[in-house]
Amino acid sequence: MVRIMAEKITPRSEDFSKWYQDIVLQAKLADYSPVKGCMVIRPNGYSIWELMQKDLDRRIKKSGARNAYFPLFIPESFLKKEAEHVEGFAPQCAVVTYAGGKELEEKLVVRPTSETIINSMFAKWVQSYRDLPLMINQWANVVRWEMRTRLFLRTTEFLWQEGHTCHATPEEAEEETRRMLGVYAEFAEQILAMPVIPGLKSESEKFAGALRTYCIEAMMQDKKALQAGTSHNLSTNFAQAFNTLFLDKDGKQKLVHQTSWGVSTRLIGGMIMTHSDDKGLVLPPRLATTHVVIVPILGSSPAKAQVLDKADELQRAIRDQALHANLPYEIGVEVDRDETKQPGWKFHEHELLGTPIRIELGPRDLEKGQAVMTRRDEGKKEFISLQAVPERVIHQLVSMQKELLERARALRDASTYRVASYAEFKKQLDETGGFFVAPWCQSKDCEAKVKDETKATIRCLPLDEHHNPIQESGPCLACGRGGETLRAIFARAY
Protein backbone atom coordinates (compact mmCIF):
# COMPACT_ATOMS: atom_id res chain seq x y z
CA MET A 1 0.00 0.00 0.00
CA VAL A 2 1.22 3.47 -0.91
CA ARG A 3 1.28 5.72 2.11
CA ILE A 4 0.18 9.30 1.88
CA MET A 5 2.21 11.97 3.54
CA ALA A 6 0.05 14.80 4.84
CA GLU A 7 1.51 18.10 3.70
CA LYS A 8 0.46 21.42 5.10
CA ILE A 9 -3.27 21.98 4.52
CA THR A 10 -4.27 25.62 4.11
CA PRO A 11 -6.67 26.45 7.00
CA ARG A 12 -10.27 27.17 6.04
CA SER A 13 -10.11 30.56 7.72
CA GLU A 14 -7.20 31.58 5.49
CA ASP A 15 -8.46 30.48 2.08
CA PHE A 16 -11.46 28.18 1.88
CA SER A 17 -11.02 27.48 -1.78
CA LYS A 18 -7.35 26.57 -1.37
CA TRP A 19 -8.25 24.41 1.66
CA TYR A 20 -10.72 22.46 -0.48
CA GLN A 21 -8.17 21.97 -3.23
CA ASP A 22 -5.50 20.89 -0.73
CA ILE A 23 -7.78 18.19 0.65
CA VAL A 24 -8.88 16.87 -2.73
CA LEU A 25 -5.31 16.67 -4.02
CA GLN A 26 -3.52 15.54 -0.85
CA ALA A 27 -6.05 12.83 0.05
CA LYS A 28 -5.72 11.73 -3.60
CA LEU A 29 -9.43 11.99 -4.26
CA ALA A 30 -9.02 13.59 -7.68
CA ASP A 31 -6.39 15.21 -9.87
CA TYR A 32 -6.22 17.69 -12.72
CA SER A 33 -5.98 16.10 -16.14
CA PRO A 34 -4.16 17.29 -19.23
CA VAL A 35 -7.56 17.86 -20.86
CA LYS A 36 -8.81 21.32 -19.99
CA GLY A 37 -11.51 21.23 -17.35
CA CYS A 38 -11.63 17.42 -17.09
CA MET A 39 -10.70 15.74 -13.83
CA VAL A 40 -9.29 12.35 -13.00
CA ILE A 41 -11.15 10.63 -10.17
CA ARG A 42 -8.54 8.69 -8.24
CA PRO A 43 -9.32 5.46 -6.35
CA ASN A 44 -9.80 7.23 -2.99
CA GLY A 45 -12.42 9.49 -4.58
CA TYR A 46 -13.95 6.86 -6.79
CA SER A 47 -14.62 4.53 -3.85
CA ILE A 48 -16.77 7.31 -2.34
CA TRP A 49 -18.69 7.57 -5.64
CA GLU A 50 -19.16 3.78 -5.70
CA LEU A 51 -20.70 3.83 -2.23
CA MET A 52 -23.00 6.70 -3.23
CA GLN A 53 -23.97 4.85 -6.41
CA LYS A 54 -24.71 1.62 -4.63
CA ASP A 55 -27.06 3.23 -2.16
CA LEU A 56 -28.78 5.60 -4.57
CA ASP A 57 -29.16 2.90 -7.20
CA ARG A 58 -31.07 0.82 -4.67
CA ARG A 59 -33.37 3.77 -3.91
CA ILE A 60 -33.94 4.47 -7.60
CA LYS A 61 -34.81 0.85 -8.35
CA LYS A 62 -37.13 0.80 -5.34
CA SER A 63 -38.91 3.80 -6.85
CA GLY A 64 -39.72 1.65 -9.89
CA ALA A 65 -37.11 2.80 -12.44
CA ARG A 66 -34.81 0.38 -14.26
CA ASN A 67 -31.32 1.07 -15.55
CA ALA A 68 -30.53 1.32 -19.26
CA TYR A 69 -27.89 2.89 -21.48
CA PHE A 70 -28.32 5.36 -24.35
CA PRO A 71 -25.75 6.66 -26.86
CA LEU A 72 -23.10 9.20 -25.89
CA PHE A 73 -23.65 11.07 -29.16
CA ILE A 74 -26.71 13.13 -30.02
CA PRO A 75 -27.39 14.25 -33.60
CA GLU A 76 -27.23 18.04 -33.63
CA SER A 77 -30.72 18.27 -35.11
CA PHE A 78 -32.20 16.47 -32.06
CA LEU A 79 -30.89 19.08 -29.67
CA LYS A 80 -32.52 21.78 -31.77
CA LYS A 81 -35.98 20.27 -31.58
CA GLU A 82 -36.78 21.82 -28.21
CA ALA A 83 -36.18 25.56 -28.47
CA GLU A 84 -35.36 26.40 -24.83
CA HIS A 85 -33.27 23.27 -24.49
CA VAL A 86 -30.90 24.07 -27.34
CA GLU A 87 -30.63 27.69 -26.23
CA GLY A 88 -29.59 26.55 -22.78
CA PHE A 89 -27.14 23.84 -23.78
CA ALA A 90 -25.70 24.76 -27.19
CA PRO A 91 -23.03 27.14 -25.78
CA GLN A 92 -21.69 24.31 -23.60
CA CYS A 93 -21.55 21.53 -26.17
CA ALA A 94 -18.53 19.58 -27.40
CA VAL A 95 -19.09 18.56 -31.02
CA VAL A 96 -17.74 15.65 -33.05
CA THR A 97 -17.35 16.73 -36.66
CA TYR A 98 -15.38 13.86 -38.10
CA ALA A 99 -15.10 10.18 -37.38
CA GLY A 100 -13.67 7.08 -39.00
CA GLY A 101 -11.45 9.35 -41.08
CA LYS A 102 -14.35 11.22 -42.70
CA GLU A 103 -16.23 14.45 -42.12
CA LEU A 104 -19.66 13.59 -40.70
CA GLU A 105 -22.78 14.48 -42.65
CA GLU A 106 -24.48 15.48 -39.42
CA LYS A 107 -22.48 16.74 -36.48
CA LEU A 108 -22.76 14.80 -33.24
CA VAL A 109 -22.99 16.52 -29.89
CA VAL A 110 -21.44 14.77 -26.89
CA ARG A 111 -24.43 14.47 -24.54
CA PRO A 112 -24.74 17.34 -22.04
CA THR A 113 -27.90 15.53 -20.84
CA SER A 114 -30.04 12.93 -22.60
CA GLU A 115 -33.65 14.15 -22.85
CA THR A 116 -33.51 14.35 -26.64
CA ILE A 117 -31.79 11.07 -27.51
CA ILE A 118 -33.94 9.25 -24.96
CA ASN A 119 -37.15 10.77 -26.34
CA SER A 120 -36.23 9.56 -29.79
CA MET A 121 -36.40 6.02 -28.33
CA PHE A 122 -39.39 6.62 -26.05
CA ALA A 123 -41.35 7.79 -29.12
CA LYS A 124 -40.78 4.32 -30.56
CA TRP A 125 -41.28 2.28 -27.38
CA VAL A 126 -44.38 3.94 -25.99
CA GLN A 127 -47.54 2.89 -27.81
CA SER A 128 -50.34 2.53 -25.31
CA TYR A 129 -51.35 3.53 -21.79
CA ARG A 130 -50.28 -0.02 -20.87
CA ASP A 131 -46.66 0.99 -21.50
CA LEU A 132 -46.92 3.72 -18.85
CA PRO A 133 -45.44 4.75 -16.55
CA LEU A 134 -42.11 4.13 -18.28
CA MET A 135 -39.28 4.77 -15.81
CA ILE A 136 -35.66 4.61 -16.88
CA ASN A 137 -32.41 5.57 -15.18
CA GLN A 138 -28.94 5.85 -16.68
CA TRP A 139 -25.51 6.04 -14.98
CA ALA A 140 -23.28 7.87 -17.43
CA ASN A 141 -20.71 10.52 -18.21
CA VAL A 142 -21.84 13.86 -19.62
CA VAL A 143 -19.94 16.84 -21.01
CA ARG A 144 -20.67 20.54 -20.54
CA TRP A 145 -17.94 22.91 -21.63
CA GLU A 146 -17.15 25.13 -18.66
CA MET A 147 -14.91 28.16 -18.45
CA ARG A 148 -14.07 27.98 -14.77
CA THR A 149 -13.75 24.53 -13.35
CA ARG A 150 -13.17 23.14 -9.87
CA LEU A 151 -12.49 19.50 -9.01
CA PHE A 152 -15.78 17.62 -8.46
CA LEU A 153 -17.84 20.83 -8.21
CA ARG A 154 -17.75 21.97 -11.81
CA THR A 155 -15.90 19.98 -14.44
CA THR A 156 -16.24 19.74 -18.20
CA GLU A 157 -16.93 16.02 -17.97
CA PHE A 158 -18.69 14.57 -14.96
CA LEU A 159 -20.38 11.35 -13.91
CA TRP A 160 -24.02 11.30 -12.93
CA GLN A 161 -27.28 9.43 -13.03
CA GLU A 162 -30.16 10.77 -15.03
CA GLY A 163 -33.69 9.45 -14.61
CA HIS A 164 -36.24 9.85 -17.39
CA THR A 165 -39.89 8.94 -16.96
CA CYS A 166 -43.10 9.06 -19.03
CA HIS A 167 -46.58 9.30 -17.53
CA ALA A 168 -50.15 9.38 -18.75
CA THR A 169 -51.22 12.52 -16.88
CA PRO A 170 -49.69 15.82 -15.75
CA GLU A 171 -50.59 14.91 -12.15
CA GLU A 172 -48.55 11.71 -12.26
CA ALA A 173 -45.56 13.52 -13.76
CA GLU A 174 -45.70 16.16 -11.05
CA GLU A 175 -46.01 13.48 -8.37
CA GLU A 176 -42.97 11.64 -9.75
CA THR A 177 -40.94 14.87 -9.93
CA ARG A 178 -41.66 15.55 -6.28
CA ARG A 179 -41.15 11.93 -5.19
CA MET A 180 -37.63 11.89 -6.65
CA LEU A 181 -36.86 15.19 -4.94
CA GLY A 182 -37.75 13.43 -1.71
CA VAL A 183 -35.54 10.46 -2.58
CA TYR A 184 -32.60 12.82 -3.19
CA ALA A 185 -33.23 14.72 0.05
CA GLU A 186 -33.30 11.51 2.09
CA PHE A 187 -30.21 10.17 0.34
CA ALA A 188 -28.27 13.40 0.94
CA GLU A 189 -29.18 13.50 4.62
CA GLN A 190 -28.96 9.78 5.45
CA ILE A 191 -25.86 8.88 3.45
CA LEU A 192 -23.87 12.11 2.94
CA ALA A 193 -25.04 13.52 6.32
CA MET A 194 -25.58 16.71 4.33
CA PRO A 195 -28.70 18.67 5.32
CA VAL A 196 -30.62 20.04 2.33
CA ILE A 197 -33.51 22.37 1.68
CA PRO A 198 -35.88 21.06 -0.97
CA GLY A 199 -37.47 23.79 -3.04
CA LEU A 200 -38.66 25.08 -6.38
CA LYS A 201 -36.31 26.93 -8.73
CA SER A 202 -37.34 30.33 -10.06
CA GLU A 203 -38.16 30.58 -13.78
CA SER A 204 -34.72 31.97 -14.59
CA GLU A 205 -32.90 29.14 -12.78
CA LYS A 206 -34.94 26.21 -14.08
CA PHE A 207 -33.68 23.50 -16.46
CA ALA A 208 -33.67 24.48 -20.13
CA GLY A 209 -36.76 22.72 -21.45
CA ALA A 210 -38.58 22.08 -18.18
CA LEU A 211 -41.94 23.34 -17.03
CA ARG A 212 -40.70 23.36 -13.45
CA THR A 213 -37.45 22.45 -11.67
CA TYR A 214 -37.19 21.33 -8.07
CA CYS A 215 -33.85 21.15 -6.31
CA ILE A 216 -32.13 20.37 -3.03
CA GLU A 217 -29.80 23.09 -1.75
CA ALA A 218 -27.06 22.61 0.81
CA MET A 219 -24.88 25.09 2.70
CA MET A 220 -21.12 24.63 2.64
CA GLN A 221 -18.87 25.60 5.57
CA ASP A 222 -18.02 28.89 3.86
CA LYS A 223 -21.77 29.67 3.95
CA LYS A 224 -22.15 29.42 0.20
CA ALA A 225 -24.93 27.34 -1.33
CA LEU A 226 -24.46 24.22 -3.41
CA GLN A 227 -27.19 22.86 -5.66
CA ALA A 228 -26.98 19.17 -4.86
CA GLY A 229 -29.64 17.61 -7.08
CA THR A 230 -32.49 18.55 -9.40
CA SER A 231 -35.81 17.03 -10.43
CA HIS A 232 -37.64 18.44 -13.44
CA ASN A 233 -41.25 18.29 -14.53
CA LEU A 234 -40.79 18.44 -18.32
CA SER A 235 -44.52 18.54 -19.04
CA THR A 236 -45.03 17.61 -22.71
CA ASN A 237 -42.19 19.82 -24.02
CA PHE A 238 -39.95 17.01 -25.25
CA ALA A 239 -42.88 14.75 -26.11
CA GLN A 240 -44.11 17.46 -28.50
CA ALA A 241 -40.68 17.82 -30.05
CA PHE A 242 -40.32 14.05 -30.58
CA ASN A 243 -43.95 13.08 -31.00
CA THR A 244 -43.92 10.77 -27.98
CA LEU A 245 -47.57 9.70 -28.09
CA PHE A 246 -49.65 6.99 -26.46
CA LEU A 247 -53.09 5.60 -27.17
CA ASP A 248 -55.06 6.30 -24.00
CA LYS A 249 -57.90 4.21 -22.55
CA ASP A 250 -60.37 6.56 -24.21
CA GLY A 251 -58.98 5.68 -27.64
CA LYS A 252 -57.25 9.03 -28.15
CA GLN A 253 -53.61 9.66 -29.03
CA LYS A 254 -52.01 11.81 -26.32
CA LEU A 255 -48.60 13.24 -25.52
CA VAL A 256 -46.81 11.69 -22.54
CA HIS A 257 -45.96 13.84 -19.53
CA GLN A 258 -42.34 13.52 -18.57
CA THR A 259 -39.85 14.05 -15.78
CA SER A 260 -36.08 13.92 -15.53
CA TRP A 261 -33.85 14.04 -12.45
CA GLY A 262 -30.18 13.77 -11.65
CA VAL A 263 -27.32 13.99 -9.20
CA SER A 264 -23.64 13.92 -10.05
CA THR A 265 -20.07 13.54 -8.80
CA ARG A 266 -20.52 17.13 -7.61
CA LEU A 267 -21.98 15.53 -4.47
CA ILE A 268 -18.48 14.36 -3.52
CA GLY A 269 -17.37 18.01 -3.44
CA GLY A 270 -20.42 18.98 -1.42
CA MET A 271 -19.80 16.23 1.12
CA ILE A 272 -16.17 17.35 1.52
CA MET A 273 -17.09 21.02 2.01
CA THR A 274 -19.79 20.07 4.53
CA HIS A 275 -17.75 17.96 6.96
CA SER A 276 -14.00 18.20 6.47
CA ASP A 277 -11.68 20.23 8.67
CA ASP A 278 -8.17 21.70 8.71
CA LYS A 279 -6.62 18.28 9.33
CA GLY A 280 -8.18 16.73 6.22
CA LEU A 281 -11.15 14.79 5.02
CA VAL A 282 -13.95 13.83 7.40
CA LEU A 283 -15.92 10.91 5.95
CA PRO A 284 -19.40 10.01 7.14
CA PRO A 285 -19.21 6.29 8.00
CA ARG A 286 -21.69 5.48 5.22
CA LEU A 287 -19.12 6.70 2.67
CA ALA A 288 -16.00 5.15 4.20
CA THR A 289 -14.34 1.96 2.98
CA THR A 290 -12.04 1.71 6.00
CA HIS A 291 -14.07 2.63 9.07
CA VAL A 292 -11.60 1.72 11.77
CA VAL A 293 -7.82 1.76 11.75
CA ILE A 294 -6.02 0.05 14.62
CA VAL A 295 -2.56 1.54 15.13
CA PRO A 296 -0.36 -0.74 17.28
CA ILE A 297 2.20 1.17 19.34
CA LEU A 298 5.10 -1.23 19.08
CA GLY A 299 7.62 -1.49 21.88
CA SER A 300 10.39 -4.07 21.89
CA SER A 301 9.58 -7.77 21.84
CA PRO A 302 7.94 -9.71 23.47
CA ALA A 303 5.47 -6.85 24.09
CA LYS A 304 5.42 -6.21 20.35
CA ALA A 305 4.08 -9.65 19.49
CA GLN A 306 1.46 -9.35 22.21
CA VAL A 307 0.31 -5.98 20.92
CA LEU A 308 0.04 -7.25 17.35
CA ASP A 309 -1.88 -10.33 18.46
CA LYS A 310 -4.29 -8.22 20.45
CA ALA A 311 -4.72 -5.84 17.50
CA ASP A 312 -5.67 -8.78 15.26
CA GLU A 313 -8.03 -10.08 17.90
CA LEU A 314 -9.66 -6.66 18.18
CA GLN A 315 -10.04 -6.51 14.41
CA ARG A 316 -11.90 -9.81 14.41
CA ALA A 317 -14.04 -8.80 17.38
CA ILE A 318 -15.09 -5.53 15.73
CA ARG A 319 -16.01 -7.33 12.50
CA ASP A 320 -18.07 -9.86 14.44
CA GLN A 321 -19.80 -7.12 16.36
CA ALA A 322 -20.64 -5.35 13.10
CA LEU A 323 -22.29 -8.48 11.73
CA HIS A 324 -24.11 -8.95 15.01
CA ALA A 325 -25.29 -5.34 15.04
CA ASN A 326 -26.74 -5.85 11.55
CA LEU A 327 -25.49 -2.51 10.23
CA PRO A 328 -26.79 -1.64 6.74
CA TYR A 329 -23.24 -1.40 5.41
CA GLU A 330 -20.01 -3.36 5.57
CA ILE A 331 -17.40 -2.31 8.12
CA GLY A 332 -13.76 -2.10 7.06
CA VAL A 333 -11.29 -2.65 9.92
CA GLU A 334 -7.55 -2.42 9.27
CA VAL A 335 -4.52 -3.05 11.43
CA ASP A 336 -1.73 -0.70 10.35
CA ARG A 337 1.27 -3.02 10.82
CA ASP A 338 3.68 -0.95 8.73
CA GLU A 339 6.89 -0.65 10.78
CA THR A 340 8.50 1.92 8.50
CA LYS A 341 6.21 4.67 9.83
CA GLN A 342 5.83 6.08 13.32
CA PRO A 343 2.41 6.13 15.04
CA GLY A 344 2.23 9.92 14.87
CA TRP A 345 2.84 9.83 11.14
CA LYS A 346 0.06 7.27 10.76
CA PHE A 347 -2.36 9.38 12.81
CA HIS A 348 -1.84 12.29 10.44
CA GLU A 349 -2.31 10.12 7.39
CA HIS A 350 -5.59 8.69 8.66
CA GLU A 351 -6.78 12.17 9.63
CA LEU A 352 -6.08 13.32 6.08
CA LEU A 353 -7.95 10.31 4.64
CA GLY A 354 -10.94 10.77 6.94
CA THR A 355 -10.93 7.30 8.55
CA PRO A 356 -13.88 7.61 10.99
CA ILE A 357 -12.33 5.82 13.99
CA ARG A 358 -8.73 5.35 15.13
CA ILE A 359 -7.74 2.91 17.85
CA GLU A 360 -4.30 3.07 19.47
CA LEU A 361 -3.01 0.05 21.29
CA GLY A 362 0.36 -0.10 23.09
CA PRO A 363 2.07 -2.30 25.69
CA ARG A 364 0.89 -0.06 28.53
CA ASP A 365 -2.67 -0.13 27.26
CA LEU A 366 -2.46 -3.89 27.22
CA GLU A 367 -1.35 -3.90 30.84
CA LYS A 368 -4.34 -1.77 31.75
CA GLY A 369 -6.65 -3.87 29.55
CA GLN A 370 -7.68 -0.83 27.50
CA ALA A 371 -7.39 0.84 24.13
CA VAL A 372 -7.44 4.49 23.10
CA MET A 373 -10.16 5.42 20.66
CA THR A 374 -10.53 8.67 18.70
CA ARG A 375 -13.39 9.68 16.48
CA ARG A 376 -12.19 11.59 13.43
CA ASP A 377 -14.75 14.39 13.73
CA GLU A 378 -14.24 14.96 17.47
CA GLY A 379 -10.52 14.30 17.78
CA LYS A 380 -10.81 13.51 21.51
CA LYS A 381 -9.09 10.48 22.99
CA GLU A 382 -11.32 8.06 24.83
CA PHE A 383 -9.97 5.21 27.01
CA ILE A 384 -12.05 2.07 26.63
CA SER A 385 -11.67 -1.34 28.21
CA LEU A 386 -10.71 -3.88 25.58
CA GLN A 387 -13.90 -5.92 25.96
CA ALA A 388 -16.02 -2.83 25.44
CA VAL A 389 -14.23 -1.70 22.27
CA PRO A 390 -16.31 -3.56 19.61
CA GLU A 391 -19.64 -2.36 20.94
CA ARG A 392 -18.27 1.14 21.40
CA VAL A 393 -17.01 1.24 17.82
CA ILE A 394 -20.42 0.39 16.40
CA HIS A 395 -22.06 2.90 18.71
CA GLN A 396 -19.63 5.62 17.66
CA LEU A 397 -20.06 4.93 13.94
CA VAL A 398 -23.82 5.25 14.29
CA SER A 399 -23.46 8.39 16.43
CA MET A 400 -20.95 9.96 14.09
CA GLN A 401 -23.22 9.52 11.06
CA LYS A 402 -26.07 11.15 12.98
CA GLU A 403 -24.04 13.91 14.61
CA LEU A 404 -22.33 15.01 11.38
CA LEU A 405 -25.78 15.73 10.00
CA GLU A 406 -26.91 17.49 13.16
CA ARG A 407 -23.76 19.61 13.34
CA ALA A 408 -24.06 20.62 9.70
CA ARG A 409 -27.71 21.47 10.21
CA ALA A 410 -26.94 23.57 13.29
CA LEU A 411 -24.23 25.45 11.37
CA ARG A 412 -26.62 26.09 8.52
CA ASP A 413 -29.40 27.26 10.81
CA ALA A 414 -27.03 29.57 12.67
CA SER A 415 -26.04 31.11 9.33
CA THR A 416 -29.58 31.54 8.04
CA TYR A 417 -30.93 35.05 8.44
CA ARG A 418 -34.12 36.99 8.16
CA VAL A 419 -33.39 40.59 7.30
CA ALA A 420 -35.52 43.70 7.69
CA SER A 421 -34.29 45.52 4.59
CA TYR A 422 -32.30 45.21 1.40
CA ALA A 423 -29.53 47.33 2.95
CA GLU A 424 -29.31 45.01 5.95
CA PHE A 425 -29.22 42.00 3.59
CA LYS A 426 -26.29 43.41 1.62
CA LYS A 427 -24.38 44.28 4.79
CA GLN A 428 -24.93 40.90 6.42
CA LEU A 429 -24.20 39.00 3.17
CA ASP A 430 -20.83 40.72 2.85
CA GLU A 431 -19.97 40.28 6.52
CA THR A 432 -20.96 36.66 7.12
CA GLY A 433 -22.47 35.15 3.99
CA GLY A 434 -25.21 32.60 4.62
CA PHE A 435 -28.76 31.87 3.59
CA PHE A 436 -31.23 34.77 3.58
CA VAL A 437 -34.91 33.92 3.91
CA ALA A 438 -36.97 36.75 2.49
CA PRO A 439 -40.17 37.43 0.56
CA TRP A 440 -39.85 37.82 -3.20
CA CYS A 441 -42.45 39.44 -5.44
CA GLN A 442 -41.81 36.88 -8.25
CA SER A 443 -40.50 39.54 -10.61
CA LYS A 444 -37.54 38.64 -12.80
CA ASP A 445 -36.26 42.18 -12.48
CA CYS A 446 -36.00 41.94 -8.72
CA GLU A 447 -34.19 38.60 -9.00
CA ALA A 448 -31.77 40.05 -11.57
CA LYS A 449 -31.17 43.17 -9.50
CA VAL A 450 -30.15 41.16 -6.45
CA LYS A 451 -27.88 38.98 -8.57
CA ASP A 452 -26.22 41.93 -10.32
CA GLU A 453 -25.68 43.89 -7.15
CA THR A 454 -24.71 41.15 -4.71
CA LYS A 455 -23.95 37.97 -6.71
CA ALA A 456 -26.58 36.26 -4.55
CA THR A 457 -29.23 34.26 -6.40
CA ILE A 458 -32.53 32.75 -5.43
CA ARG A 459 -31.44 29.24 -4.49
CA CYS A 460 -34.97 27.97 -4.17
CA LEU A 461 -38.48 28.66 -3.01
CA PRO A 462 -38.91 26.35 0.01
CA LEU A 463 -41.98 24.10 0.05
CA ASP A 464 -44.88 23.64 2.47
CA GLU A 465 -46.22 20.25 3.50
CA HIS A 466 -48.13 20.03 0.19
CA HIS A 467 -44.87 20.63 -1.71
CA ASN A 468 -45.98 24.08 -2.83
CA PRO A 469 -43.95 27.29 -2.48
CA ILE A 470 -44.80 29.15 0.70
CA GLN A 471 -46.80 32.37 0.52
CA GLU A 472 -45.01 34.92 2.64
CA SER A 473 -46.44 38.40 2.85
CA GLY A 474 -43.99 41.04 1.65
CA PRO A 475 -42.22 43.38 1.40
CA CYS A 476 -40.12 41.90 -1.44
CA LEU A 477 -36.43 41.88 -0.52
CA ALA A 478 -35.47 43.78 -3.65
CA CYS A 479 -38.31 46.19 -4.45
CA GLY A 480 -40.06 46.43 -1.10
CA ARG A 481 -43.49 45.83 -2.58
CA GLY A 482 -46.05 43.45 -1.07
CA GLY A 483 -48.65 41.46 -2.99
CA GLU A 484 -48.03 37.98 -4.37
CA THR A 485 -44.81 37.39 -2.50
CA LEU A 486 -43.28 33.96 -1.92
CA ARG A 487 -40.67 32.83 0.55
CA ALA A 488 -37.27 32.64 -1.15
CA ILE A 489 -33.75 31.72 -0.08
CA PHE A 490 -31.09 34.07 -1.36
CA ALA A 491 -27.41 33.11 -1.23
CA ARG A 492 -24.16 33.16 -3.10
CA ALA A 493 -23.56 29.76 -4.63
CA TYR A 494 -21.09 27.41 -6.22
**Residue 414 binding a copy of itself, by CB under 8 A:** no
Contact status, residue 378 vs residue 394, Cβ threshold 8 Å? no
Residue 264, Cα to own-chain centre: how many angstroms?
6
Specify the residue, 125 or 383, whose C-beta has the smaller distance to a copy of itself.
125
CB of 205 to a copy of itself, least distance (A): 21
CB of 334 to a copy of itself, least distance (A): 15
**Residue 162 binding a copy of itself, by CB under 8 A:** no
E strands within 408-456? Answer: 416-418, 435-440
Kind and range of the H or E run holding 267: helix 266-275
Site map (CB under 8 A) of a copy of itself, residues 98-127, x = contact: xxxx------x-x------x--xx--xx--
CB of 196 to a copy of itself, least distance (A): 25
> Could you tell me the end-to-end alpha-carbon distance of the chain, in angstroms, rounded to an integer?
35
Question: 71: exposed, middle or buried (C-beta count within 10 Å: 0-12, 13-18, 19+)?
Answer: middle
Instruction: Give yes or no for a cis peptide into 343 (omega within 30° of 0).
Output: no
Specify the residue, 67 or 421, whose C-beta has the smaller distance to a copy of itself.
67
**Residue 143 binding a copy of itself, by CB under 8 A:** yes
**Residue 93 binding a copy of itself, by CB under 8 A:** yes
User: 260-297: buried (b, 16+ CB within 10 Å) or exposed (e) per residue?
Assistant: bbbbbbbbbbbbbbbbbbebbbbbbbbbbbbbbbbbbb
Specify the residue, 97 or 342, whose C-beta has the smaller distance to a copy of itself.
97
DSSP letter for each residue of 174-205: HHHHHHHHHHHHHHHHHTS----EEEEPPGGG
Specify the residue, 110 or 476, whose C-beta has the smaller distance to a copy of itself.
110
Residues of span 42-61 touching a copy of itself by CB under 8 A: 42-43, 46-47, 49-50
Contact status, residue 91 vs residue 208, Cβ threshold 8 Å? no
Residue 330 CB neighbour total at 10 angstroms: 11
CB of 140 to a copy of itself, least distance (A): 7
Specify the residue, 164 or 178, whose C-beta has the smaller distance to a copy of itself.
164
CB of 157 to a copy of itself, least distance (A): 5
Segment lying near a copy of itself (by CB under 8 A), choices 34-42, 300-308, 331-339, 447-455: 34-42
Specify the residue, 62 or 130, whose C-beta has the smaller distance to a copy of itself.
130
- Contact residues for a copy of itself (CB under 8 A)? 2, 31, 33-35, 38-43, 46-47, 49-50, 66-75, 78, 90-101, 108, 110, 117, 120-121, 124-125, 130-131, 136, 140-141, 143, 145-147, 157, 159
